[in-house]
Amino acid sequence: MSHGASWTTLRSFTRDPSLRSGGVSRETWRRIGDLARPYRRQLAVFLVLVVLSSAAAVATPLLLAVLINRGVVAGDRGVVLGVAGVVAALALVEGGITLAQRWYSSRIGEGLIYDLRTSVFAHVQRQPVSFFTRAQTGALVTRLNTDVSGAQQAFTTTLQSVVSNVVLLVLAGGVVLSQAPVLLLAVLLLLPLFWVPARRVGRRLSGLTRRSMELNADLGTRMTERFNVAGALLVTLYGRPEEEDEQFRERADRVRRIGTSIAMSNRVFFTALTTVTALATALVYGVGGLLAIGGRFEVGTVVALAALMGRLYGPITSLANVRVDVMSALVSFERVFEVLDLPSPLVEVEGAVDLPEGPLDVRLDGVGFTYPRAGEGGLRSLEAVTADAAASDDDVDGHGGEGRPEVVTADGPRGGPALADVDLHVPAGQVLALVGRSGAGKTTATALVARLYDPTEGRVLVGGVDLREARLASVHDRIGVVTQDAHLFHDTVRANLLYARPGASEAELLAALEAAQVLDVVRDLPEGLDTVVGDRGHRLSGGEKQRVALARLLLKAPDVVVLDEATAHLDSRSEAAVQRALERALEGRTSIVIAHRLSTVRSADLIAVVDAGRVVQTGTHEELLAQGGPYAVLHRTQLVGAGGPPGDAGDDAEGGDLDRGDGAAGPAGGRRPPAPRPAP
């Protein structure tokens, strides 16, 4: 028996037994057929090559029988040389068939992987932000890697195994049956000696394999979390190296011990298979030899039958478990289709229009929004996380992990409405500042303006157009966002800037950097614009990274700008420089700013105080101070926190933070009563 056949047999037994009773819908079969249609000619050639290869494997023992019976025993040198030459030629042909078979297998398999990966990647890229906030990145990447690779095995490994095993079983079994039916029956009687222990080993291997995948995934997650820049920094600042080492050793030890268990189970399987095959061979030689002495068989026939018998066990056991192999591959298809079937709520309606040219105003008209709950518009299998994979040592035996609780992500901020009945209007070219404590709904409001989500109630209009009726490309081109924690790719400064405008010239890049007050910093970098900024831009300081992100925004030159505490990482001097740059660069553009410091709030055309998802006050800085109420309390609290006199509204409080939680309380520390919401 070949090693490849042995491994195929073992792989069948390591599949999850639950797959035996599974089913695949007709729709899945139809979609698999659609995927295979572009490769139907290559698949036909591939199957022909598989049949020829299997036939050659059966033909070789028969030729050896002729060589022995008609050449060696008869003393005919010509037959010996002639048949030996045919066997050699057949070996060369079989080698060529194997190479061609591998080429077609690779073409089909890699083509399917390419088709599935690109389709899944394109579809996932168009999912809303809520999908990514809940989905586990590792689980999502697994769908693009492991499951896609598992799906393509249905057209290559599994299909090849089924066809070749059927051909081998029919040809080899037919030859043995025609030559010595008694021998075939005697050898088949030995099958239970292999079948019973193999089934038991298979069940054990199934549990061990699942547990090994969990343990390795947990070990990989721990390494990923500790090896990225943010995790390494946290471990350095708070870490206890000895404790980290000990926890890692414990996990690695479990992986080591379960690997040993799997290796020994594999060895038991192969030993049983080899032993039974050897017994069958001995039986054929023993019984066949006696029959040859009695004149019923020729010597070469006995040798051929012994070789053919060794080729029967692999196909028999593999075909007995073929449903498990097929279901395993098809389940991978279904898991990939699950992702492809995810609906995207951010779709373009038929007849979507571009946002109008020229300055754009922004209006939130009766807007309400509730974050989707876990599983709504997503996949629970991507959102759920299991308990610590490194549970008890008993799990190493493949029996643990039963009944462990499943934990899912939160349902969104507070689990209730994030915004309710919000009415705001920002005229074209003006600045709106949103202030309020953390969790009040400010970022949610700006996310709706950028159409990261669609409101569950009301409308968001930009330039008089409901964003749900606008082309997505137009929205992304005309609205720009800089968040508090701006993200930079692990690439050069140049590549991060060109992400906003791929065709920008060198002069335009430098002008954007200068406007963001970061050109001197970039020039001082080792490779200038071609310096790699590191994972998430960690080679730059927080302020430098933020200014590069602002330069990227300026390079995009949008008509509507959203700044979500974009100057939070800057010191007062850097912030003042960037504010001056923004005032020049964003002149005439509509801006919505989540306020961080009083300097931004004081200069805004309109300030909106947000609390518990509602706008409770609107007006200019002076108007809101004159009204009293939440803004005045917030302003006074921040002045005191900044060391200024309680009644001073001057620039001494420029360093005050309007987004601190303590500003949401009144002087006595209690929750302030909601103020009546004036008309915007």
On whether both 319 and 452 belong to a single domain, the answer is no
On whether both 325 and 428 belong to a single domain, the answer is no
Buried b / exposed e across 555-580, counting CB within 10 Å, b at 16+?
bbbbbbbbbbbbbbbbeeebbeebbe
C-alpha to C-alpha distance for 165 and 58, rounded to whole angstroms: 12
Strand, helix or coil for residue 431: strand
Residue 670 lies in a domain: no
C-alpha to C-alpha distance for 334 and 525, rounded to whole angstroms: 49
Residue 55 lies in a domain: yes
C-alpha to C-alpha distance for 175 and 173, rounded to whole angstroms: 5
Residue 474 lies in a domain: yes
C-alpha to C-alpha distance for 347 and 470, rounded to whole angstroms: 10
Report the candidate in 334, 404, 380 with the shortest Cα–Cα distance to residue 134: 380
- Alpha-helical (H) ranges within 358-483 are 380-383, 442-449, 472-478
432 with 593: CB under 8 angstroms? yes
The total domain count for the chain is: 2
Residue 245 lies in a domain: no
Last residue of a domain, one of 340, 357, 382: 340
**Count of beta carbons in the 10 Å neighbourhood of residue 347:** 12
Report the candidate in 345, 369, 362 with the shortest Cα–Cα distance to residue 421: 369
129 with 377: CB under 8 angstroms? no
On whether both 499 and 617 belong to a single domain, the answer is yes
Report the candidate in 575, 514, 515 with the shortest Cα–Cα distance to residue 543: 575
Pairing of strands 560-564, 479-482: parallel
Half-sphere exposure of 340 (CA within 13 A, CB side): 17
Q: What pLDDT is recorded for position 96?
A: 92
221 with 138: CB under 8 angstroms? yes
Would you say the C-alpha torsion 396, 397, 398, 400 has a positive or negative sign? negative
Question: Which residues are 465's β-sheet partners?
Answer: 462
**Count of beta carbons in the 10 Å neighbourhood of residue 366:** 12
Q: What pLDDT is recorded for position 15?
A: 43
Residue 186 lies in a domain: yes
Buried b / exposed e across 318-340, counting CB within 10 Å, b at 16+?
bbebbebbbbbbbbbbbbbbebe
C-alpha to C-alpha distance for 291 and 182, rounded to whole angstroms: 11
471's torsion region: left (phi>0), alpha (psi -120 to 50) or beta? beta
On whether both 437 and 531 belong to a single domain, the answer is yes
User: Which tokens hold the place of 599?
Assistant: 């300097």
187 with 280: CB under 8 angstroms? yes
Burial of 548 (0-12, 13-18, 19+ CB in 10 A): buried
C-alpha to C-alpha distance for 460 and 450, rounded to whole angstroms: 10
Q: Which residues contact 46 (CB under 8 A, 6 or more apart)?
A: 101, 104, 105, 108, 159, 160
The CATH number covering residue 46 comes to 1.20.1560.10
The CATH number covering residue 597 comes to 3.40.50.300
646 with 639: CB under 8 angstroms? yes
Q: What pLDDT is recorded for position 655?
A: 40
467 with 454: CB under 8 angstroms? yes
**Distance of CA 592 to CAs 73, 362, 616, Å?**
97, 9, 17
Q: What pLDDT is recorded for position 529?
A: 86
Q: Which residues contact 430 (CB under 8 A, 6 or more apart)?
A: 590, 591, 605, 606
On whether both 331 and 468 belong to a single domain, the answer is no
On whether both 576 and 477 belong to a single domain, the answer is yes
Buried b / exposed e across 447-465, counting CB within 10 Å, b at 16+?
bbbbbebbbeebbbbbbeb
Residue 90 lies in a domain: yes
On whether both 320 and 428 belong to a single domain, the answer is no
Q: What pLDDT is recorded for position 459?
A: 93
Instruction: Give strand ranges (E) for 322-382.
Output: 362-370
Question: Which residues are 461's β-sheet partners?
Answer: 363, 466
Last residue of a domain, one of 289, 312, 340: 340
Amino acid found at 651: D
Last residue of a domain, one of 278, 307, 340: 340
Residue 676 lies in a domain: no
On whether both 194 and 335 belong to a single domain, the answer is yes
Burial of 151 (0-12, 13-18, 19+ CB in 10 A): buried
C-alpha to C-alpha distance for 284 and 290, rounded to whole angstroms: 10
Residue 517 lies in a domain: yes
Walk along the chain (680 residues) in steps of 10 and give the mean pLDDT of each run: 43 42 66 85 90 86 86 85 90 90 86 85 79 70 73 74 83 80 72 66 66 71 69 65 80 86 76 74 80 81 79 68 64 78 79 89 92 62 48 42 34 65 91 86 90 90 91 88 79 88 88 84 87 78 80 86 74 68 71 73 86 89 87 72 45 43 35 36
Would you say the C-alpha torsion 627, 628, 633, 636 has a positive or negative sign? positive
Both ends of the chain: CA-CA distance in Å? Answer: 82
49 with 105: CB under 8 angstroms? no
C-alpha to C-alpha distance for 489 and 535, rounded to whole angstroms: 7
Which residues constitute the domain of residue 174? 3-208+261-340
617 with 624: CB under 8 angstroms? yes
C-alpha to C-alpha distance for 633 and 677, rounded to whole angstroms: 16
On whether both 462 and 316 belong to a single domain, the answer is no
> How many residues does the structure list for the chain?
680
On whether both 333 and 432 belong to a single domain, the answer is no
C-alpha to C-alpha distance for 307 and 558, rounded to whole angstroms: 75
On whether both 472 and 336 belong to a single domain, the answer is no
On whether both 564 and 434 belong to a single domain, the answer is yes
Question: Which residues are 470's β-sheet partners?
Answer: 353
